[in-house]
């Protein structure tokens, strides 16, 4: 671990200024993670006032708890459920946002820019499609499950460097939902919103209509967990993983691209793996 590098989440403002990065990862020129420390203000007042914000205690708890989770892998069982509750308690203590290696997650790192792991019961979940469409609609999870499902296996690539090979996602093609909603001619982009109340993402209409853009209901053939953004997350296969908005709750057709959360901090709006953010990773699909 390289402790000499400034740790991105240990800052005096109540928001992660850039994505937390792996221990030891350097902070230099090809830094794709944003324009530096000039972060915009954070709307969630809840996290801001907490005394233990950014304290080392939070970090120790994260590591300790994740270690506990890793032990759980060996015995199998409801590891993901345990992990979700573990991460929930951890993130309550570290409102700058939590990242950690997910035990049993094959190398996935957990990210949430909100100070929690949002949970939505299946029966309460809704995905609304609106904006410049002829037929705005609100889908229940059961409605989404009843639509044609597509399964894809690709690598996942985060812009901070980590990559998880051969990850399966399945769900409904975004294009299927857009067709059903009837996109109006002036609708040229999509804005995604999330029930964490903070995160947003965007795609152009052309990108959104690609066959490898999914509204994902499963990840590695199990329902998307809370930690991974369940019950429904976006899976933008050919793009860096920040495009894959977790806890997806809204799809709004807009006239122009409205840059998403990380894009306000300098990430590329067109987040093609290997062709953006100054990176040269192998394509994921
Ligand atoms: N709602 C929401 N979606 C999000 C994020 C987030 O913080 N909040 N982080 C993004 C980033 S930067 C990454 S790398 C992936 C991480 O997904 P994972 O936690 O399933 O590994 O989610 C993306 N989608
Ligand atoms: Mo990321």
Span of 38-52, 135-149, 258-272 with lowest mean pLDDT: 38-52
End-to-end CA distance of the chain: 32
Nearest CA among 141, 139, 132, 127 for reference residue 252: 132
Ligand 1 atom at shortest distance from the alpha carbon of 19 = 12
Ligand nearest to the CA of 243: 1
Ligand 1 contacts CB of residue 244 (under 6 A): yes
Ligand 1 contacts CB of residue 158 (under 6 A): yes
Provide the percentage of residues in the chain whose pLDDT is more than 90: 57
The domain locations on the chain are 1-117, 122-265
Ligand 1 contacts CB of residue 195 (under 6 A): no
- Hunting for tokens 């965007």 — which residue is that? 202
Its pTM stands at 0.73
pLDDT at residue 84 tops 60:
no
Ligand 1 atom at shortest distance from the alpha carbon of 199 = 1
From CA 271, how far away is CA 238, in angstroms rounded? 8
- Is 125 in contact with 145 (CB distance < 8 Å)? no
Question: Per-residue b/e over 165-174, b at no fewer than 16 CB within 10 Å?
Answer: eebebbbbbb
Ligand 1 contacts CB of residue 212 (under 6 A): no
- Per DSSP, the three-state class of 105 is coil
Q: Give the pLDDT mean for 43-51.
A: 26
- Per DSSP, the three-state class of 64 is helix
Ligand 1 contacts CB of residue 247 (under 6 A): yes
pLDDT at residue 72 tops 60:
no
Q: Which CATH class is domain 122-265?
A: alpha beta
What band does 29 get if pLDDT is binned at 50, 70 and 90?
very low
């Amino acid at each position: 671990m390289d402790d000499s590098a400034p740790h991105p989440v240990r800052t005096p403002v109540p928001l992660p200024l850039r994505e937390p990065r792996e221990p030891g990862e350097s902070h230099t020129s090809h830094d794709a993670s944003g324009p530096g420390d000039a972060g915009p203000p954070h709307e969630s007042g809840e996290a801001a006032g907490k005394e233990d914000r950014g304290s080392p205690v939070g970090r120790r708890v994260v590591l300790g708890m994740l270690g506990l989770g890793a032990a759980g892998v060996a015995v199998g069982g409801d590891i993901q459920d345990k992990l979700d509750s573990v991460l929930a308690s951890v993130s309550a203590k570290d409102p700058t946002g939590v990242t950690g290696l997910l035990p049993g997650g094959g190398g996935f790192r957990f990210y949430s820019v909100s100070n929690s792991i949002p949970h939505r019961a299946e029966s309460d979940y809704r995905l609304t499609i609106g904006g410049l469409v002829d037929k705005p609609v609100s889908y229940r999870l059961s409605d989404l499950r009843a639509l044609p499902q597509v399964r894809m296996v690709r690598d996942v690539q985060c812009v901070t460097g980590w990559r998880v090979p051969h990850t399966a996602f399945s769900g409904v093609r975004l294009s299927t939902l857009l067709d059903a909603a009837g996109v109006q001619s002036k609708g040229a982009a999509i804005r995604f919103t999330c029930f964490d109340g903070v995160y947003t993402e965007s795609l152009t209409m052309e990108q959104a209509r690609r066959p490898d853009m999914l509204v994902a209901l499963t990840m590695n053939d199990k329902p998307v967990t809370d930690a991974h953004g369940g019950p429904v997350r976006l899976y933008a296969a050919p793009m860096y993983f920040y495009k894959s908005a977790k806890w997806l709750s809204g799809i709004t057709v807009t006239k122009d691209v409205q840059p998403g959360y990380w894009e306000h901090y300098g990430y590329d709006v067109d987040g093609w793996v290997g062709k953006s953010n100054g990176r040269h990773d192998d394509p994921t699909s």
